[in-house]
Amino acid sequence: MTASTKLETPYQNHIDKADFDHVYEPAEDSFLLIDALEKDLQYLKAKNPTFCLEVGSGSGVVITAFGMVFPNTFCVSTDINWKACEMSISTAKYNKVLLEPVNMDLVNFFVDNKFDVIIFNPPYVVTESQECGGKDITASWAGGIKGREITDRLLHMIPKKLAEDGTFYLLLIQDNIPNEVIEIMRMHGFKSELVIRRIVRNEHQLVLKFYK
């Protein structure tokens, strides 16, 4: 295990700027999630995770940052946008991280897999329901009612996909009504903790972690 005490932002010099017309470009929410994982680094190192999954990896910047610090962890990413999967693997390779990207909706095709860490920066923008469900860049931001339609689908999958001693990191904004998310996860038997929060251009972003 590496002795690093911080998560570095991965290099993405290999990406053509035009590619971000099709894949979500890392922004303040991406970097807040990296900061949250860095803040929780000693906790994560004590867990010594074997398998880590990022759902909706986009450019791959978050899962790659994780893999740079945990080179012995098998990292997997999913994204419904196949161009995002391609960018995730290229970001990982460029930063010498081993990553297995899978083109799928959330975690639908994982059957018996259990992950020690699951990370999700969901499409959280409040939109009409019919704007959800795309397979292009709209899938990275259109969240439907409360900006939570995609998130709520994953919440009910977490108990079957997270290892018994695992941790789930979730980024939300205040419009998503985080207290409702905390209550849903409590009903699934999970404790919750606020890792980090930040106000960016009047958008109140926060990262929660859930564990048994």
- CATH number of the structural domain spanning residue 24: 3.40.50.150
In a domain, 11, yes or no: no
Q: What is the mean pLDDT of the chain?
A: 94
Q: Is 58 exposed, middle or buried (0-12, 13-18, 19+ CB in 10 A)?
A: buried
Tell me the per-residue pLDDT of 65-111, one tens digit each, with 9 for 90 and over.
999 999 999 999 999 999 999 999 999 999 999 999 999 999 988 88
Q: What is the percentage of the chain residues whose pLDDT exceeds 70?
A: 98
pLDDT for 1? 37
Mean pLDDT of 170-199: 97
pLDDT band at 4 (very low <50, low <70, confident <90, very high): low
Number of structural domains in the chain = 1
Contact 117, 53 (CB under 8 A): yes
Does the structure show a pLDDT above 50 at 11? Answer: yes
In a domain, 1, yes or no: no
**Residue 92: which region, alpha, beta or left (left: phi > 0; alpha: psi -120 to 50)?**
alpha
pLDDT band at 203 (very low <50, low <70, confident <90, very high): confident
Tell me the per-residue pLDDT of 29-75, one tens digit each, with 9 for 90 and over.
999 999 999 999 999 999 999 999 999 999 999 999 999 999 999 99
In a domain, 10, yes or no: no
Q: What is the percentage of the chain residues whose pLDDT exceeds 90?
A: 86
Per the DSSP assignment, residues forming a β-bridge with 102 are: 78
In a domain, 5, yes or no: no
In a domain, 119, yes or no: yes
The crossing angle, in degrees rounded to 10, of helices 61-69 and 82-94 is 30
In a domain, 75, yes or no: yes
In a domain, 13, yes or no: no
- Tell me the residue range of the domain where 53 lies: 20-211
What does each C-alpha distance from 155 to 21, 141, 151, 188, 195 come to in angstroms?
29, 17, 6, 9, 18
pLDDT for 88? 97
Per the DSSP assignment, residues forming a β-bridge with 78 are: 55, 102
Tell me the per-residue pLDDT of 122-150, one tens digit each, with 9 for 90 and over.
999 999 999 998 999 999 999 999 999 99
pLDDT for 111? 80
Q: Is 17 exposed, middle or buried (0-12, 13-18, 19+ CB in 10 A)?
A: exposed
